[in-house]
A and B are shown apart, each in its own frame.
Chain A
């Protein structure tokens, strides 16, 4: 038995090894490790961790089952609240959610809730346990737009309540950001994402790929002609943003979305797939979020020297600490307090250098973070051949512009009620990045869950 104040360490691929492959970094707990870690849980009556979870998983209850070796029971407990435990166990920012509230964390390290969740989900998959479809269908049809975390959650919850749910996905594969955005080494596609999507399907949910709502058909058509009584919009974040600096259209400048989509969805990193990707010898990733870390670590694995350029300091990096830590271990170089001003291209239009200035932190701005200020005369040039812009996204207008009576806010996000997901249009609900702008997987799942409840109430009230 180890130190009770510390987490049971989780096995990982060694940094030098994993920097050259796309296999999963974290190897997860085995049975014994999981049971030992579970025994650190104090089983608090008024559990703070549950309050920290956007989908309110009964954490002490599932950990108690793990402690006793009842993994199937543990899976059932999680399944009551989450449709995607194998995903959440891997990509949730637990340190600011469940684990951030853990009482153990006051005097030591929090219980490794995320790793335990992952263990339970993986164990269930290996043992062929699937969530059960409801015995009876209620005959009401609901459409879900987008098969990302919010859509899958909303669809799963509604299916459990007996609804006849169809998901419409624009891409050729289901999973949304779980497939095109988050890399294989953090979230294995076949082993984890596909399996979770299959689980949602086993609840009776139908998934139609290659349907772009707003183009292939519209929300109004679904409701008026196809017999859907309610629609949930979980269409995701949208168009990538660029800095607006000179040289940004040069060859070799990508959005993180493009770079990651090529590598993750289209599997450009694999020789047996046709989609090309520019690998680059020296790559600069601009930005400090989780997406920037994913792009940097992908470029690294494709063989490049990779620099993260971020205008604030390490403390303000918006990425999860674990991601920053992993990136550093693998050899990503962090050029902090640095901001690009221009991209220089060669005579053929390919990137050859990036001009940057050094920054220092000034007075706090509206966000409460200290505002970065340019240091006069600090301009310098770095020779690079690839630049990846990871600056966030702005909402895609495809659905909002083709749905009559759907209100959007100043930032062009769909306006939806926090509690129920209801939009300005009766019967239409929304959640996830389409509402909040780019955020996390689990927040999107929380919104999908809330909307499922909202839709259930809406349809029940209508029937009265």
Chain B
């Protein structure tokens, strides 16, 4: 069992949990993820690592409930436990293995969208600890949905907050901020964009204009997360890659976004069904004609 040390609601839709998992905490690196399962009948859910404390043996996860299983996670409190918590999975971010002196010559821009701020944070923090200050754009729909602002401020070079509705920071999508920063005379040699697929796709289209190599972090459907099932395959530069062992980070300019988004829809109906069942309990016995609950 993996004990939840702290459970916090960051805003209306995003949750943060600190979980006791010494082996993961000891070995994880920025860019990697974990798989968590609540109980015997639960699903294996991949989540990105937001932070880790090697001394305390804890790992911080941040998630936004989007299906029946994550809805259930959201109800857990400090003192509760996950039955399974495995990782770290996937490859660390490329820069982890690069020479920090060489990295200092780079000008890196991070673009974080919504809950994607969580996996960006440990990367910016790692760079900061190695004497490299990266610029960070954090975007969300509205002010209340901006997360980890203080934490990010402490480790970023320049932090640019933007909201779609203009309720906080700059106004407009993250892609507009990229355009604006370049127009303001900033130059970047590398970009890392993490957030919803649609945001990552448009970030890549934007950075392509400026020839800025861009890394994205894919979060496709997964089952085992160790390279066994092949559910997480993505097409990168005409090659089939498994996000769990080859990724999750890839060259965003080579990712086939339309296929990736199409695949993410796969269990939409089934997930929706499970969610309905969770919300309505046993009352959902057909009638909708779609779900087979009447059979």
Contact assessment for A274 and B43 in the assembled complex, using a CB-CB cutoff below 8 Å: yes
In the complex, the chain A residue whose C-beta lies closest to that of B258 is A349
Q: Which of B217-261 contact A (CB under 8 A)?
A: 223-224, 226-231, 233, 235, 240, 242, 245, 259
Is A172 positioned at the interface, with any CB of B under 8 Å from its CB? yes
**In the complex, how many angstroms separate the beta carbon of B29 from the nearest chain A beta carbon?**
10
Contact assessment for B262 and A251 in the assembled complex, using a CB-CB cutoff below 8 Å: yes
Name the one of A240, A267, A272 contacting B230, with C-beta atoms under 8 angstroms. A240
Residues of A within 8 A of B83 (CB): 172
In the complex, the chain A residue whose C-beta lies closest to that of B233 is A249
Name the one of A242, A266, A267 contacting B44, with C-beta atoms under 8 angstroms. A266
In the complex, the chain B residue whose C-beta lies closest to that of A393 is B228
Give A298-310 as 1s and 0s: 1 = Cβ < 8 Å from B's Cβ atoms: 0000000000000
Contact assessment for A276 and B274 in the assembled complex, using a CB-CB cutoff below 8 Å: yes
**In the complex, how many angstroms separate the beta carbon of A154 from the nearest chain B beta carbon?**
20
Contact assessment for A266 and B86 in the assembled complex, using a CB-CB cutoff below 8 Å: no
Is B37 positioned at the interface, with any CB of A under 8 Å from its CB? yes
Contact assessment for A239 and B228 in the assembled complex, using a CB-CB cutoff below 8 Å: yes
Is B183 positioned at the interface, with any CB of A under 8 Å from its CB? no
Residues of A within 8 A of B231 (CB): 254-255, 258
How far is B235's CA from A426's CA once the two chains are assembled, in angstroms? 39
Residues of A within 8 A of B43 (CB): 266, 274-275
Residues of A within 8 A of B89 (CB): 212, 215
Most buried by A among B23, B223, B231: B223
Name the one of A172, A212, A257, A266 contacting B87, with C-beta atoms under 8 angstroms. A212
Q: Which of A57-102 contact B (CB under 8 A)?
A: none
Contact assessment for B240 and A242 in the assembled complex, using a CB-CB cutoff below 8 Å: yes
How far is B95's CA from A158's CA once the two chains are assembled, in angstroms? 43
Name the one of B37, B84, B227, B270 contacting A276, with C-beta atoms under 8 angstroms. B270
Is B79 positioned at the interface, with any CB of A under 8 Å from its CB? no
**In the complex, how many angstroms separate the beta carbon of A309 from the nearest chain B beta carbon?**
19
**In the complex, how many angstroms separate the beta carbon of A107 from the nearest chain B beta carbon?**
45
Is B166 positioned at the interface, with any CB of A under 8 Å from its CB? no
How far is B224's CA from A397's CA once the two chains are assembled, in angstroms? 15
Is A13 positioned at the interface, with any CB of B under 8 Å from its CB? no
Contact assessment for B262 and A212 in the assembled complex, using a CB-CB cutoff below 8 Å: no
Contact assessment for B23 and A217 in the assembled complex, using a CB-CB cutoff below 8 Å: yes
Is A382 positioned at the interface, with any CB of B under 8 Å from its CB? no
Contact assessment for A397 and B245 in the assembled complex, using a CB-CB cutoff below 8 Å: yes
Contact assessment for A278 and B27 in the assembled complex, using a CB-CB cutoff below 8 Å: no
Residues of B within 8 A of A277 (CB): 270
Is A211 positioned at the interface, with any CB of B under 8 Å from its CB? yes
In the complex, the chain A residue whose C-beta lies closest to that of B32 is A215
**In the complex, how many angstroms separate the beta carbon of A45 from the nearest chain B beta carbon?**
45
Residues of A within 8 A of B110 (CB): none
Contact assessment for A261 and B229 in the assembled complex, using a CB-CB cutoff below 8 Å: yes
How far is B274's CA from A277's CA once the two chains are assembled, in angstroms? 11
Name the one of A180, A251, A257 contacting B266, with C-beta atoms under 8 angstroms. A251
Is B42 positioned at the interface, with any CB of A under 8 Å from its CB? yes
Is B46 positioned at the interface, with any CB of A under 8 Å from its CB? no
Q: Which of B34-63 contact A (CB under 8 A)?
A: 37, 41-44
Name the one of B41, B69, B228, B263 contacting A251, with C-beta atoms under 8 angstroms. B263
Give A182-218 as 1s and 0s: 1 = Cβ < 8 Å from B's Cβ atoms: 0000000000000000000000000001111001110
Residues of B within 8 A of A210 (CB): 84-86
Name the one of A216, A242, A272 contacting B88, with C-beta atoms under 8 angstroms. A216
Is B68 positioned at the interface, with any CB of A under 8 Å from its CB? yes
Contact assessment for A396 and B228 in the assembled complex, using a CB-CB cutoff below 8 Å: yes
Name the one of B44, B245, B271 contacting A396, with C-beta atoms under 8 angstroms. B245
Contact assessment for A240 and B228 in the assembled complex, using a CB-CB cutoff below 8 Å: yes
Given A172-B37, A215-B89, A276-B267, A257 contacting B230 (CB threshold 8 A): yes
Is B211 positioned at the interface, with any CB of A under 8 Å from its CB? no
Given A216-B24, A276-B267, A349-B259, A171 contacting B229 (CB threshold 8 A): no
Most buried by B among A239, A252, A257, A276: A276
Residues of A within 8 A of B167 (CB): none
Given A170-B86, A215-B88, A239-B245, A261 contacting B228 (CB threshold 8 A): yes
Q: Which of B247-295 contact A (CB under 8 A)?
A: 259, 262-263, 265-267, 270-271, 273-274
**In the complex, how many angstroms separate the beta carbon of A383 from the nearest chain B beta carbon?**
20
Given A239-B227, A255-B229, A258-B231, A216 contacting B27 (CB threshold 8 A): yes
**In the complex, how many angstroms separate the beta carbon of B47 from the nearest chain A beta carbon?**
14
Residues of A within 8 A of B87 (CB): 212, 215-216
Contact assessment for B263 and A274 in the assembled complex, using a CB-CB cutoff below 8 Å: no
Query: 10 closest pairs, A vs B, by CB?
Result: A276-B270, A349-B262, A258-B229, A255-B230, A210-B86, A172-B84, A240-B230, A274-B43, A273-B41, A396-B227
Pick 18 A–B contacts, CB within 8 A, sort by A. A172-B84, A210-B85, A210-B86, A215-B27, A216-B23, A216-B86, A216-B88, A217-B23, A217-B27, A239-B230, A242-B233, A254-B231, A255-B229, A257-B230, A274-B43, A276-B267, A276-B271, A396-B226
